[in-house]
């Protein structure tokens, strides 16, 4: 069986040489464990932080050790009550073909209700992040003007549509290409969108949001956050979800207009999806319902083969994905 290890700590953008594909024996599950054959795994931006030596909000990956991340796989053998061979489970031991997984950290999913990859995207962690960020963190209300950055990605595609479906007056998205911008407006129902390469983000946002912004869902940080500070209406709220524009640079760009938060009485609130489990049931019901009836659409960018997982990860950081970036094994 094959697994991918961290060969070196990336400086700036990761390269293929930072990863190593290694042949290892299929693990033997211990008591209380499942042997899982992975079917699909997630590549996520937060993993970039774990590749650095310092503490991010998750402990760093060990050099020379197998990476991990969200995955869905089929149980091959079970040594735990409540699970049987053939079950499909969501767990955290991706980046390897076979995993011995503690049953306590595996969640059975229904592969007939949704394709396995959906449990890593729209119905999984990224979808839940969008939902929690808008509802719990930003306190979305009907009639809000909402701006979502990274809008064509896994979290952003859900955030923009939840805002629309929850009665936002206007939903604006930003993304990194003309094709993504077209997709946001024509397929996902955003009212306006722009490619942030087309000029200063502050100008692009001001033009797209002539009435100002009430809620900013921030996936990007840096210049985008600065632009939102300028466009915010009084009492604007930002859900600070991520700052991907700064993940691969040793020289982060900070918002220069933070001082505006005072006079505008802004709320800028960081959050981690793991603290919002109380929303899980509502999320599954509401977003699951919208997916089922077609009112919420989503995309996935699927790369085939564990050997191509590094490529998929690097590509995701560079914006090559539309929607959720996945790797099938």
Which residues sit at the interface with ligand NDP, rule CB under 6 A? 44-46, 126, 129, 150, 152-156, 175-177, 180, 219-220, 241-242, 244-245, 271-273, 316-317, 319, 321, 325
d(CA 53, CA 59) in angstroms, rounded, equals: 9
- Which 3 state secondary structure label does DSSP give 23? strand
Closer to ligand NDP by Cβ: residue 35 or 118: 118
The Cα 166–Cα 130 span in angstroms is 13
Residue 29 or 45 having the CB closest to ligand NDP: 45
235 vs 274 by CB, closer to ligand NDP? 274
CA dihedral sign, ordered 113, 118, 120, 124: negative
Contacts of 312 (CB under 8 A, 6+ apart): 43, 301, 303, 321, 325, 326, 327
Closest distance to ligand NDP from the beta carbon of 149 (Å)? 7
Structure token digits, residue 35: 């042997």
Least Å from the CB of residue 322 to ligand NDP: 8
Cα–Cα distance for residue pair 315/308, rounded to 1 Å: 10
Whole-angstrom CA distances from 38 to 94, 117, 167, 228 are 7, 11, 39, 40
Report, in Å, the least distance between residue 302 CB and ligand NDP: 13
**Residue whose CB is less far from ligand NDP, 44 or 191:** 44
Is residue 43 within 8 A of residue 125, CB to CB? The reply is no
CB of 48 to ligand NDP, least distance (A): 8
| Distant-in-sequence, close-in-space partners of 176: CB < 8 Å, separation ≥ 6 | 152, 195, 196, 197, 319
Structure token pair of residue 155: 């979290």
- Residue 33 CB, nearest approach to ligand NDP (Å): 27
H or E stretch including 280?
A: helix 280-292
* Cα Rg of the chain (Å, integer): 20
Q: Which is nearer to ligand NDP, 29 or 126 (CB)?
A: 126
Q: Which is nearer to ligand NDP, 35 or 152 (CB)?
A: 152
- Least Cβ distance, residue 182 to ligand NDP (angstroms): 13
**Beta carbon of residue 226, minimum distance to ligand NDP (angstroms, whole number):** 12
Residue among 35 and 326 whose Cβ is closer to ligand NDP: 326
């Amino acid at each position: 069986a094959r697994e991918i290890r961290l060969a070196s700590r990336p400086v700036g953008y990761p390269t293929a040489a930072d990863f190593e594909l290694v042949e290892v024996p299929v693990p033997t599950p211990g008591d209380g464990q499942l042997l899982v054959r992975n079917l699909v795994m997630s590549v996520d931006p937060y993993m970039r932080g774990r590749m650095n030596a310092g503490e991010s909000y998750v402990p760093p990956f060990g050099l020379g050790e197998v990476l991990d991340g969200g995955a869905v796989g089929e149980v091959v053998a079970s040594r735990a009550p409540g699970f049987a061979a053939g079950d499909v489970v969501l767990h955290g031991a991706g980046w390897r073909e076979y995993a011995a997984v503690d049953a306590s950290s595996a969640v059975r999913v229904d592969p007939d209700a949704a394709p396995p990859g959906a449990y890593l995207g729209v119905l999984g962690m990224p979808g839940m992040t969008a939902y929690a960020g808008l509802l719990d963190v930003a306190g979305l209300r009907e009639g809000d003007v909402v701006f979502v950055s990274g809008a064509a990605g896994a979290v952003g595609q859900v955030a923009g549509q939840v805002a629309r479906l929850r009665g936002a007056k206007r939903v604006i998205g930003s993304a990194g290409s003309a094709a993504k911008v077209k997709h946001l407006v024509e397929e996902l129902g955003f009212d306006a969108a722009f490619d942030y390469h087309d000029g200063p983000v502050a100008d692009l946002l001001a033009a797209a949001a002539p009435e100002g912004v009430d809620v900013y869902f921030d996936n990007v940080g840096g210049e985008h956050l600065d632009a939102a500070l300028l466009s915010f209406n009084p009492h604007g709220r930002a859900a600070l979800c991520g700052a991907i524009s700064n993940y691969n640079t040793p020289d982060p760009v900070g918002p220069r207009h933070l001082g505006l938060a005072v006079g505008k009485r802004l709320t800028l609130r960081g959050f981690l999806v793991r603290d919002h489990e109380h929303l899980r049931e509502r999320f599954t019901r509401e977003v699951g319902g919208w997916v089922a009836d077609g009112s919420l659409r989503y995309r996935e960018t699927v790369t085939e083969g564990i050997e191509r997982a590094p490529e998929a990860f690097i590509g995701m950081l560079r914006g090559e994905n539309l929607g959720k970036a996945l790797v099938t094994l």
